Structure 1
Amino acid sequence: MTTAAAIKYILFDLDGLLIDSERVYTDVTNEILAPYGHKFNWTLKSNMMGKPLSDERVACEYLVNELNLPISVDEYILLRNKKQNEAWPKLGLRPGALELVTHLKAHNIPIAVATGSRKASLEQKCNAPAVSQLMSLFGDNVVTADDIGPGNGKPKPDTFLVAAQRLGADVGYDVSATNQPSQQQLLTRQTCLVFEDAVPGVQAGLNGDMKVIWVPEPELLDLYKDDASLKGVHQTVFSLQHLNLSDYGLPNIAN
């Protein structure tokens, strides 16, 4: 695989891509559902994962109503948050995440995190030593839901565009502006490479005219492999360990 323009900026989603939080979400949800005879399958999960924070309650309402649970949405959220908070200190990383980020950092490739989580949620996850170590490599180049306007979360491109600007990329983004980016700014967006695992995040990267590497779980790919909104994905891999960075004008990780 080759790419027309060498990549200059790398933007990472966080949950489920760099850190293993999706496993925590799944385990906690299954703990809650088990007494009611239900399991958190991939159809349910795909309809909830990667949603912007503003849709969090909507996602929980969907689950409670879809499974006709005998608890209120508020009760579900309180129980879920309690169990998640207990799990965060043991949170680990996804395979290849630390190696990839460390490699890019060592070669002075500008990197940023662009997550739909709020800063307070991220701080909780950083109670895990592995997550804290990883996030220290990004410094101040971390964009959360607190850094973008309400209603501008993924699949809108704002999170990635703000992250790119934080790295110094002129991508022509102004939330209050109605003008379209210039041709040069559109070309600059093509030098931004987005790593995502969730469908709304992939759509956000594509909506921002950036190159996107999708890193889905196989079950998620099976559900969305024919989705027209994902046709612009540049590459699909199942692990951050399965990358040939030289395809993007970047130095490969030495074996």
Structure 2
Amino acid sequence: MTTTKYVLFDLDGLLIDSERVYTEVTNEILLPYGKKFNWTLKANMMGKHERVACEYLVNALQIPLTVDEYIAQRNAKQNEAWPRLALRPGALELVTHLKAHNIPIAVATGSRKSSLMQKCNAPVVHHLMSLFGENCVTADDVGPGLGKPNPDTFLIAAQRLGADIGYDVNGVSSPSKENLLARDSCLVFEDAVPGVQAGLNGNMKVIWVPEPELLDLYKDDDSVKGVYQTLTSLQDLKLSDFGLPDIK
């Protein structure tokens, strides 16, 4: 197994408990129309660009709102909720541990930078993100149409950390054998299926940390075949499996 040199994290639902907020806000908007947000809908939205996900929901449920109207309502309600955000179990301990051992770490999120700044109004999120410094790739850093499940978000993040992965900023990727070895030295943590696919499409090792409901929907699906490990929580991680020092 290639030695792990770089660790890349998704953000929403993996490090921060934003998926709970997304669900609560969505159900609040849908209530007047007699609709309810379920895990099948949620699974088809997780990890995708904001507008793509919202277009899917509006069309799937045929609610009498334009996509722009829905996004405006959603953003207003979410912005009220972000200061109360919590971290996912084990997230702060893991990131703090890796940073203390000088393991290069980065966030690779499908959220826009403006959305991330809103989430950082929660003190715990602000502290967590400070551990990554400038090593944070958002949807604003990725070319149009190249968001997850395309690998570009993770490839750009790895490149920022100094990994020689053979990636061109225009989305042109023709990796050499050495580039592929560098990609294999990247360990990706994801909760959403498009993110899992993005890591796999980037030839990286992927650890999937899904919610139980998502695992039930996708555990036998071809889209997640190839994941290196599936965990129920970051607290279950054994870093020595990847040549990294375990948390004591």
TM-score range, shorter chain: over 0.9
What residue is the counterpart of 2:72 in the other structure?
78
The residue type paired with residue 27 of structure 1 is: E
Number of aligned residue pairs: give it.
Answer: 248
What residue is the counterpart of 2:160 in the other structure?
166
> Is it true that 1:198 corresponds to 2:192 in the alignment?
yes
Equivalence map 1:103-122=2 (5 Å): 103-122=97-116
> Is it true that 1:147 corresponds to 2:141 in the alignment?
yes
Structure 1's 111 and 249: CA in aligned 2 closer, same or farther, altered over 3 A? same
> Is it true that 1:9 corresponds to 2:12 in the alignment?
no
Q: Please state how far the C-alpha of 1:35 moved relative to its aligned partner.
A: 2.5
Q: Please state how far the C-alpha of 1:243 moved relative to its aligned partner.
A: 0.6
Equivalence map 1:1-255=2 (5 Å): 4-52=1-49, 56-176=50-170, 178=172, 180-254=174-248
Inter-partner Cα distance in structure 2 for 1:144 and 1:179: 19
Inter-partner Cα distance in structure 1 for 2:70 and 2:170: 37
Structure 2 SS opposite 1:241 = helix
Q: Please state how far the C-alpha of 1:196 moved relative to its aligned partner.
A: 0.4
Where structure 2 has 5 or more consecutive residues not aligned to the other structure, the ranges are: none
Q: Is the 8 A contact 2:149 2:196 kept in 1?
A: yes
Structure 1's 139 and 165: CA in aligned 2 closer, same or farther, altered over 3 A? same
Structure 1 SS opposite 2:72 = helix
Where structure 1 has 5 or more consecutive residues not aligned to the other structure, the ranges are: none
Residues 103-112 or 66-75, more deviating? 66-75
List, as ranges, runs of 4+ consecutive aligned residues in structure 1 with deviation greater than 4 Å: none
Q: Is the 8 A contact 2:143 2:171 kept in 1?
A: no
Inter-partner Cα distance in structure 2 for 1:5 and 1:104: 18
Q: Please state how far the C-alpha of 1:178 moved relative to its aligned partner.
A: 4.7
Inter-partner Cα distance in structure 2 for 1:177 and 1:157: 9
Q: CA RMSD in A?
A: 1.4
Q: Please state how far the C-alpha of 1:179 moved relative to its aligned partner.
A: 6.0
Taking structure 1 as the reference length, the TM-score comes to 0.93
